[in-house]
Amino acid sequence: MNIYHFKKGTEICNYSYPNDILAVKLNRQRLVVCLEESIYIHNIKDMKLLKTLLNTPSNPSGLCALSINHSNSYLAYPGSVTIGEIVVYDANNLNTVTMIPAHDSPVAALTFNASATKLASASERGTVIRVFSIPEGTRLFEFRRGMKRYVSIRSLSFSPDGQFLCASSNTETVHIFKLEQQAPSGAEEAATWTAYVGKVFSAASSYLPAQVSGMMSQDRAFATVHLLSSDQRNVCTLAMIQKLPRLLVATVSGQLFIYDVDPLDGGECVLVHKHRLFGVDDDDQDEGPEWEGSEITGQAQTCPSYAATAALPASGPVTATLTGYSEDGGAKKGEVIPEHEFAAGPVCLDDENEFPPVSIQKC
């Protein structure tokens, strides 16, 4: 593993591990390296190895989540290869916080909200998404993505305010769920047949087995997006862009789709932008009724990618390469990250001085 200072263009440190590195997670306090059967926890300020979790359940996909709120640095990873147990570990105090029996089948996706007070998970079946309180591990919400077929959940992500949760899979649909407690008020509830049936089901659920009552209490998606194609690896996230709620979906083919989200009524989200991060657009995909009314950036082959633009040095190239850390040399070699580079709060990706925004280039 190599860690570089992005602005200076220099290597800060490097470490070697006994097996393939499957995932790397970090916040302002901790850096976590996940192997198939072990997890390494480093202090990010000097890269000292604080803890090695050995003989963890086989995790060939490197599934784990680290909270971005470094004040409690919670780490979540699968606790079993046969059922959906989740281990929540405190990476600051280096102790296990709780074990959550989340699903009947193995866990396939994990994510914390920004304040690390909630953890969302999905199993390999991909039909049910659950949200738990942290650190207690109490189930708060249960959402049903669908009942027709099992799917592979590709990503889960909370909105910055923690009120919404989006999920993408190997299907063409991205689901957005709203995290709100249903508190029916008898005085205000409309006296409709639907409301009456809802009361009957709610009352009956207390007398039914847990599995049946759980099925009855699950909430459907608040909003959805239908992508142009399925079976394409993707990742989704919810963000505020120019004070407007947006859903971002990036695909393995190098496309970034930005959708408008109605936070009040939900429904089908509207595509507002399409960007090409790398690769070449398929002309057949760019033409047609799907893109009518959308603001779409120009051909990518005539514009530098954002990665190429951001990598350009601000004040000339840096030729010096620092000697990295090693497990033998430790802090004797390399560069210790200055204390002032660590903010008091969580990482602020909306800080335009530290993280320049993606510019919309029309070529």
Read off φ and ψ for residue 237, nearest 5 degrees. -155, 155
Give the pLDDT of residue 231.
66
Q: How much is the pLDDT for 209?
A: 53
For residue 237, the model assigns a pLDDT of 94
pLDDT confidence bin for 218, thresholds 50/70/90: low
Q: Tokens 């009352």 belong to which residue?
A: 203
Strand partners of residue 219: 143
Q: Residue length, the chain?
A: 363
Task: Check pLDDT > 80 for residue 109.
Answer: yes
Query: Which DSSP symbol is given to 135?
Result: T
Alpha carbons 125 and 350: distance in angstroms, whole number: 35
pLDDT in tens, 254-308: 889 999 999 999 999 999 999 988 877 665 444 433 443 344 443 333 445 445 5
Spatial separation of the C-alpha atoms in residues 291 and 346, rounded to whole Å: 37
Separation of alpha carbons 101 and 85, rounded Å: 5
- Look up residue 201 and give its two tokens: 């089901």
CA atoms within 13 A on the CB side of 335: 17
Peptide bond into 135 cis (omega under 30): yes
Q: Where does the pLDDT of residue 96 fall: very low under 50, low under 70, confident under 90, or very high at 90 and above? A: very high
Per-residue pLDDT of 156-186, as tens digits, reads: 999 999 999 999 988 888 999 999 876 544 4
The identity of residue 266, as a single letter, is G
Q: What digits encode the pLDDT tens for the residues 1-31? A: 998 887 888 888 889 999 999 999 999 899 9
Which one-letter amino acid corresponds to residue 28? R
pTM > 0.75: no
Examine the pLDDT at 140 and tell me if it is beyond 90: yes
Cα Rg, the chain, nearest whole Å: 23
pLDDT given for residue 243 in this prediction: 87
- CA separation for the pair 211, 236 (Å, rounded): 30
Share of residues in the chain with pLDDT > 70 (%):
65
How confident is the model at residue 12, as a pLDDT?
Answer: 83
Alpha-carbon distance 278 to 252, whole Å? 10
